[in-house]
Amino acid sequence: MFTGVKVFSATKAKEREELGENVTRWLRSNSDLEIVDRVVCQSSDNEFHCYTLVLFYKHTKPQP
């Protein structure tokens, strides 16, 4: 079971290069969360390639 979802998406080359760093930074700043599942998708057309990472999480500490 999860209590939240975080979506990371990148289309431009520079965004795709930075995607891993953005995910790592978010995970570090949300260390009170437990990732319970993830979905990775790639889509593309003639010009663009889009990567999407969806993280499903739950809080490890009770929320007020």
- Domain boundaries, given as residue ranges, for the chain: 4-59
Q: Does pLDDT of 56 surpass 80? A: yes
pLDDT band at 53 (very low <50, low <70, confident <90, very high): very high
What secondary structure does DSSP assign to the chain, as a single string?
Answer: --SEEEEEEE-SHHHHHHHHHHHHHHHHHTTTEEEEEEEEEEEE-SS-EEEEEEEEEEESS---
Binned at pLDDT 50, 70 and 90, residue 47 comes out as confident
Mean pLDDT of the chain: 92
- Asked if the model's pLDDT at residue 10 lies above 90, the reply is yes
Tell me the pLDDT band of 7, cut-offs 50, 70 and 90: very high
Please give the Cα distance from 14 to 12 (Å, whole number): 6
